Amino acid sequence: MARPFSFDNAAFHFVRTDGPPGFLPRYLAAYGLGVIVIAVLSFFMLQPLFSAYAQMFAMIAQGASESRVQRVFEEAVIGDLGRLGLGYLLLMLIYAAFWSMMESAVLRRYVREEGLRIGWGNDEWRMLAVGLIWMVSFIVAYLAFILAMVVLIAPLGAVSDGGVALLGLWMVVVVFALLFVWLFFAVKLSPAGAMTIRDQKVTFFGAWGASKGRFWPMLGAFVVLGLILYVGILILYMIGAFTVFGAMFSGIDMSVGDVDPDQVMAVFTSPGVLIPVAVLYFAMLLYQGFWQYAWAGVPALVATSDPRTGGMHDAAETF
């Protein structure tokens, strides 16, 4: 059953949503597996780049000059530029598909109260289209931002006659005003993905009506949720830093003055350091998946409490 929209419900919708239990652990497991697969594919597709870095570090360890290291690295990269470009392109497509599958699964949970279903179907195609529209919109917004900066600031700079303080103040005002305009549009259109899942058709600008009169509660919910999630990142980093640096310094004898570089390298490559680093990295990737899950709760509640449709159950008949 759709919950009524409010600031409180929007900010914490990710812990109050209905649906089959056990979704989040299975979702994070699928997200982690997907990230591992993408990492393995990245290693093979960008293997020349990793080989060039390995060669570079080996030359540095052997005392090669900086200019020679840079020249050899650039030659290795340029020699495989075509393969690297193709690899980056394929990885972008793979990651876009991965994002579409994860976002669709999360929004099906919020909007339709379904269990976890990872695959590729009409929802994923439509979600990919919404993602492409967002990408184009961000590019257009960036170009419009630059143009507006030129139009609004350049004339004042030409006639300011040395008024650096006034020009600087005006620039700050213009930048914050333009950023607020961008933020306003981004928040108002944020339910596009959830409405696409709800209506089972690509919906983007239609999200504007669903968020009518709800901008400030939505913005507040995003801010509060973002702060909570950011605190979680800081806690993870602190735990990881204490663990990793503790393992590193416990293996280095600092009492002898100068530290042996071979000893430092041995500590860096020891299981006592590599395992905590790998665990921290994987935990951060899982947290990224949790962030995506929690962040989608705000626009999902907007879509399911759309006053124009009465909620998700009769949305398909209304549109």
- Chain segment 135-156, per-residue pLDDT in tens: 999 999 989 888 887 887 776 6
Structure confidence at residue 210 (pLDDT): 87
pLDDT tens digits, residue range 285-298?
889 899 999 999 99
Q: Is residue 88 part of a domain?
A: yes
Q: Is residue 47 part of a domain?
A: yes
Distances (CA, A) of 188 to 17, 103, 217, 304: 22, 19, 11, 15
Six-digit token pair at 137? 């919109």
Structure confidence at residue 60 (pLDDT): 67
Distances (CA, A) of 45 to 52, 149, 178, 229: 14, 40, 40, 32
Structure confidence at residue 255 (pLDDT): 53
Q: Are 56 and 75 in contact (CB under 8 A)?
A: no
Q: Is residue 1 part of a domain?
A: no
Rounded distance, CA 66 to CA 88, Å? 27
Rounded distance, CA 60 to CA 44, Å? 24
Six-digit token pair at 200? 């089972």
Helical residues (DSSP H) of 108-251, grouped into ranges: 122-159, 164-188, 192-199, 207-210, 215-250
For the ranges 42-51, 140-149, 229-238, 252-261, which has the lowest average pLDDT?
252-261
Distances (CA, A) of 268 to 234, 261, 263, 284: 23, 11, 9, 20
Rounded distance, CA 197 to CA 125, Å? 11
Structure confidence at residue 47 (pLDDT): 76
Six-digit token pair at 231? 């605190």
Q: What is the percent of the chain with per-residue pLDDT over 90, rounded to a whole number?
A: 30
Q: Which residue is listed with tokens 């305009």?
A: 181
Six-digit token pair at 205? 């600008």
- Mean pLDDT of the 247-261 span: 56
Rounded distance, CA 5 to CA 248, Å? 49
Whether pLDDT at 131 is above 90 = yes
The torsion region of residue 311 among left (phi > 0), alpha (psi -120 to 50) and beta comes to left
Six-digit token pair at 168? 């600087």
Q: Which domain holds residue 207?
A: 7-318
**pTM, 2 dp:** 0.78
Secondary-structure breakdown of the chain: helix, strand, coil percentages, each rounded to the nearest 5: 80, 0, 20
Rounded distance, CA 144 to CA 134, Å? 15
Rounded distance, CA 45 to CA 85, Å? 10
Structure confidence at residue 158 (pLDDT): 59
- The DSSP secondary-structure symbol of 305 reads T
- Of residues 2, 96, 15, the one with CA closest to residue 297: 15
Rounded distance, CA 207 to CA 318, Å? 14
Report the amino acid identity of residue 147: L
Structure confidence at residue 96 (pLDDT): 93
Domain count, the chain: 1
Rounded distance, CA 1 to CA 312, Å? 9
Q: Determine whether 291 is exposed, middle or buried from the number of CB atoms within 10 Å of its CB (0-12, 13-18, 19+).
A: middle
Q: Is residue 2 part of a domain?
A: no
pLDDT tens digits, residue range 177-214?
888 999 999 999 999 999 999 988 998 998 888 888 89
pLDDT tens digits, residue range 59-82?
666 666 777 777 777 777 777 777
